[in-house]
Amino acid sequence: MATNNKKFFSHEVIERNMGLLIICSILVVIFGGLVQIIPLFFQHSTTQAAPGVKPLNALQLVGRDVYIKEGCYGCHSQQVRVLASEVQRYGPYSVAGESVYDYPFLWGSRRMGPDLARVGGRYSDDWHRAHLRNPRQFVPESNMPAYKWLQNKDVSSENIQNRMKTLNSLHTTHTGQPMYSEEEIAKAPEMLKGKTEEDAVIAFLQNLGVGYRAALAEQNKANATTAQPAAN
- Burial degree of 214 (CB within 10 A; 0-12, 13-18, 19+): middle
CB 61 within 8 A of CB 189: no
What's the angle, vertex CA 73, arms to CA 179 and CA 145, rounded to 5? 130
List pLDDT tens digits, range 31-61.
998 888 777 666 666 678 899 999 999 999 9
* Model confidence at 6: pLDDT above 60: no
Provide the mean pLDDT of the chain.
89
pLDDT digits (tens, 9 = 90+) for 151-185: 999 999 999 999 999 999 999 987 888 999 999 99
Bridge partners of 203?
Answer: none
pLDDT of residue 74 exceeding 50, the answer is yes
Cβ density class 94-115: b for 16+ within 10 Å, e for less: bbebbbbbeeeebebeeeebeb
Distances in whole angstroms, Cα of residue 198 to Cα of each of 13, 55, 66, 137, 208 = 61, 20, 9, 17, 16
Please tell me the distance from the alpha carbon of residue 205 to that of residue 64, in angstroms, as a whole number. Answer: 8
Could you give all domains of the chain from N- to C-terminal order, each with its CATH number?
55-216 (1.10.760.10)
Contact 100, 47 (CB under 8 A): yes
Stated pTM of the model: 0.80
Q: What percent of the chain has pLDDT over 70?
A: 91
Specify the pLDDT at position 3.
53
Residue 205 near residue 127 (C-beta atoms within 8 A): no
Q: What mean pLDDT do residues 20-31 have?
A: 90
The whole-angstrom separation of Cα 8 and Cα 10 is 6
Give tens-digit pLDDT for 27-36: 999 999 888 8
Residue 63 and residue 204: Cα distance in Å, rounded?
Answer: 5
Confidence at residue 1, expressed as pLDDT on a 0 to 100 scale: 44
pLDDT higher than threshold 50 for residue 7:
yes
